[in-house]
Structure 1
Amino acid sequence: MTIKTPIIPTQQTFAKRNAPHKLNLQAICVFAATGFFLDQDTYWTDEVVLPPATTNKLDNQGVLLESKPWFSWYNTPRERPFQEVVDEFSELFKTIVAEQIGEQPVILPLSGGLDSRTQAIVLKELQANVQAYSYQFEQGYNETKIAEQVAKQSGFAFDAYTIPKGYLWDKIDDLVKMNQGYSDFCSPRQLAVLNQLKAYQGVFSLGHWGDVLFDDMGVAEEISLEQQVEVVIKKITKRGGLKLAQTLWQAWGLEGNFYDYFHARIKTLLAQINIPHSANARIRAFKSLYWAPRWTSVNLAVFKDAHPITLPYYDHRMCKFICEIPERYLSARQIQIAYIKQKAPKLAKLTWDLYHPCNLYNYQTYYTYKGLPGRAKHALQYRVKRFLGQTTIQRNWELQFLGKDNDHHLQQALFSKAFKTFVPSKVTQEMYHGFTSKDQVHYAHGVNMLLTLSKWNDLQNSSKV
């Protein structure tokens, strides 16, 4: 059997390998640190995920025999005027979206950012039948306001949803079956409105990965490989993730220390990307090879549970297009900004949530004296809310972990008898105590990942019954 994987796969494809069947504890430690499994790693030593952009031969038992790349990320920029690049993007983007949606109705998640705004433009241009929607946290920032304005100007039907407190606990068993425990459960907010999404008709058009492809990585082009390793580690590890990983490493009695193992693996994978003269392009390729398919794509399963999905920024032609753009044009989202301003000036005048209350014409002033009134107003509103005892929810885990009812469900999962046989109780106690008594923000990721491991463990035990 031969399986060819896309440049950025939308789902993981598993295969067997000849090795003992036991837990891959080193890989699980990396998962704990970053929130995704690295490279071909899985929970098991005798199981792998087929790598992106490869042709793979498997035997009749599903054992991987051979894996050869059919595409490798590269950096061969073609010099041409910036406007020519914008025009190329416009044509390519329209072609891809038109092919992906065909004549079907489209379901469009909207935000206050750039990726979904570019999709709104091209879908309107294609005269697609679009149902747009957006959501915001209960007691959170009003994210749906800008999205509704985008939908209104584009002539799309629009629904606004609120992500309620504690929605996770009634849905977590369904989610672990969807993502198989390969991602945390707090990230896919769409789970909270899955039933509403199922009521729509058509295919999703999702803007995932546009923000990575069409931006630089914020580093100087000439930094060394060792410096690139440090940048990548900083980008992919979550706050408190290294602490959890090292704590698990020690509790499981693994040889050496976690950071040295992790550093060596990242360095090896980076060195294999043959882009020696552009640190930004190499790091972008690393994220597209390892982060996109092993984290971003995993929870696409929630969308798939409702309707088929399409992802224009995942298309192989878009990936190749990026490899041939001068790096200076990719910095600071220039291409998408120019596209929006050129195609839909009214949409460009709407607030860009990243620089609220600025828009695409004046966001450069955000950190200058001209942007000071807007920043001051935002800070004042936040302080007034705090003074009045009003909490502003900014992160999904705040909805799922804080409060008496949430804590009850959390403790049930973290301190079950079954989980103690997988993760030593002292690890769980340390993370939970840190979250409840020390620093919620620093320990939230650790608690989130332990919850993920606990529910994955439950899934394995239920399959044995």
Structure 2
Amino acid sequence: MKITTPIIPVRQRIAIRPNTAHEIDKKALCIYAATGFFLGEDSFYQDEQVLQPGRQYTLNEKRHITASKVNFEWHYSPRNISFQTAVDEFTELYEQIVKEQTGNKRVLLPLSGGLDSRSQAAALHHLGADVHSYSYSFAGGFKEHKISEQIAKVCNFKFDAYLIPKSYLWDSIQELSEINGCYSEFTHARQMALIDEFKRMQGEFSLGHWGDVLFDRGIAAQDEDKSELELIYKKVIKKGGLALAHQLWKAWELDGNFEDYLKHRIQTLLDGIKIDHKASKIRAFKSLYWAPRWTSVNLAVFEAAHPIHLPYYDDRMCEFVGGIPEEYLADRKMQIAYIKNRNPKLAKIMWQDHKPYNLTNYHKNKSPQNLPYRIKDKLQREVNAKLGKKYIQRNWELQFLGEENQTHLESYLYSEDFIAFVGKETIDTMYHNFKEKDAVFYSHSVSMLLTLSAWLKQ
């Protein structure tokens, strides 16, 4: 059997390592706990080998790999072209991909306050597509759907607004475990709260994932003097993730030091990317090892309702990016230019990352120009806090906080089998730190423990 993997795979494909025991890969789980995704070929079990992006494999009847070759290597080969030429080429390619993917089918379009879905809206509106758009916000949080509604109105799209409710996770955790295989923690996939709504919709999803990586700086300007390893290590480690990984490494009595092991793994993968340009190499690392094992995992929630299409995942888009000068990719310049050219009205709608500014004046989002908005926003939050209105910024706040959530959460964390698996000290330490020290910092740790507990129940 021959399998060709896309440059950025949407789905994981697993082969079986010969002469390897079907035992839990605890070192891989420590990396998973620290970062929120499995690295490289890692899986839950030592004999399960995840096929890598951009390759052709030959597997036998036992799913052993008998041959493999690389079909695509990320590169940085900037062409001597003007910025306008780059934007024109992007426009033609992007709209061609969107047109091919959507055809004459009704499009289900999730909208946000960012640029990726806005670029999709611009393309779909230009192509005259039949679009049912929607957006969601956190109950008690920033009303992101208000921005999305304005985008839909400009494009004459049908639009629905939803709020992510408190405590939805506990009714859907088993279904989500089956959908994503527990390869991602459960509070990241907030779209799971709407899966029943999705199934009632008619059409196919067009999703804007990974545009913000392909069409932005590979490295922040202030980090250009740091090593590639330092940049990736800092980026992948989640708050509280390192503390949990150390606890698990200790509980499982693994040899060596976790941080040394993780850094060695990252450096080995970096060494396999034959790019000298640092920013492009970091972008390639993310696309090879982050997108397929983190971003792609919860796409399965959308796919459980309807077929999905991802214009920024298209092989041609990945090949295109390798030929574009970094200065054109940096700071979302190409996407901004595309939206401004294709639909100026969309460009004048607020950009959430630079609120209250938009794509025509976001450069004013600095002191002292933005001080009036920042002061007003801070005062409003202080007033709401005094009135007992908590401002919700993250899904875990709706799923973990409060007595009802705590009861459900503890039933997973303190199940007999899970205590035996990770040790009561690990659970007590992370959960105590979450409740008593810093809920924001340790929320990832608790969410990963919940995910591992749900996986163990499968």
Q: TM (normalized to structure 1)?
A: 0.97
State the Cα distance separating 1:220 from its structure 2 match.
5.8
> Corresponding residue for 1:15?
15
Structure 1, residues 287-325: CA drift from partner, whole Å, max 9, x if none?
000000001000111000110000000000000110000
Structure 1 CA distance, aligned partners of 2:367 and 2:428? 46
State the Cα distance separating 1:35 from its structure 2 match.
0.4
Structure 2 CA distance, aligned partners of 1:95 and 1:78? 21
State the Cα distance separating 1:221 from its structure 2 match.
11
> Corresponding residue for 1:91?
92
SS at match of 2:151: helix
Structure 1, residues 148-183: CA drift from partner, whole Å, max 9, x if none?
000000000000001000000000000000111100
1:127 aligned partner, one-letter code: G
SS at match of 2:451: helix
> Corresponding residue for 1:445?
444
Matched, 1:347 2:352: no
- Does the 8 Å contact 2:56/2:69 carry over to 1? yes
Structure 2 CA distance, aligned partners of 1:59 and 1:422? 34
SS at match of 2:233: helix
> Corresponding residue for 2:262?
262
> Corresponding residue for 2:359?
360
Matched, 1:191 2:192: yes
SS at match of 1:215: coil
- Does the 8 Å contact 1:220/1:279 carry over to 2? no
State the Cα distance separating 1:223 from its structure 2 match.
5.4
Structure 2 segments unaligned to the other structure (5+ residues): none
Structure 1, residues 75-111: CA drift from partner, whole Å, max 9, x if none?
0000111011111111000100000011100000000
Structure 2 CA distance, aligned partners of 1:434 and 1:184? 19
Aligned length: 457
Change in CA separation of 1:223 and 1:116 when aligned onto 2, cut-off 3 Å: closer
Structure 1, residues 266-286: CA drift from partner, whole Å, max 9, x if none?
11111110111x111000000
- Does the 8 Å contact 1:219/1:279 carry over to 2? no
Change in CA separation of 1:220 and 1:393 when aligned onto 2, cut-off 3 Å: closer
> Corresponding residue for 1:462?
none
Structure 2 CA distance, aligned partners of 1:425 and 1:149? 50
1:14 aligned partner, one-letter code: I
> Corresponding residue for 1:413?
412
Structure 2 CA distance, aligned partners of 1:78 and 1:321? 10
1:347 aligned partner, one-letter code: L
> Which residues of 2 match residues 149-188 of structure 1 at below 5 A?
149-188=150-189
Provide the aligned C-alpha RMSD in A. 1.2
SS at match of 2:68: strand
State the Cα distance separating 1:380 from its structure 2 match.
1.7
Structure 2 CA distance, aligned partners of 1:292 and 1:213? 11
SS at match of 2:397: helix
Matched, 1:79 2:111: no
Structure 1, residues 126-152: CA drift from partner, whole Å, max 9, x if none?
111100000011111111000000000
Structure 1 CA distance, aligned partners of 2:135 and 2:222? 37
1:366 aligned partner, one-letter code: N
- Does the 8 Å contact 1:107/1:202 carry over to 2? yes
> Corresponding residue for 1:398?
397
Matched, 1:331 2:322: no
Structure 1, residues 221-263: CA drift from partner, whole Å, max 9, x if none?
9957x71111111111110111111111111111111000001
> Which residues of 2 match residues 50-449 of structure 1 at below 5 A?
50-219=51-220, 227-276=227-276, 278-449=277-448
- Does the 8 Å contact 1:221/1:279 carry over to 2? no
State the Cα distance separating 1:11 from its structure 2 match.
0.6
Structure 1 segments unaligned to the other structure (5+ residues): 460-465
Structure 2 CA distance, aligned partners of 1:74 and 1:260? 28
State the Cα distance separating 1:421 from its structure 2 match.
2.4
Structure 2 CA distance, aligned partners of 1:153 and 1:45? 51
- Does the 8 Å contact 2:219/2:282 carry over to 1? no
Structure 1 CA distance, aligned partners of 2:310 and 2:53? 16
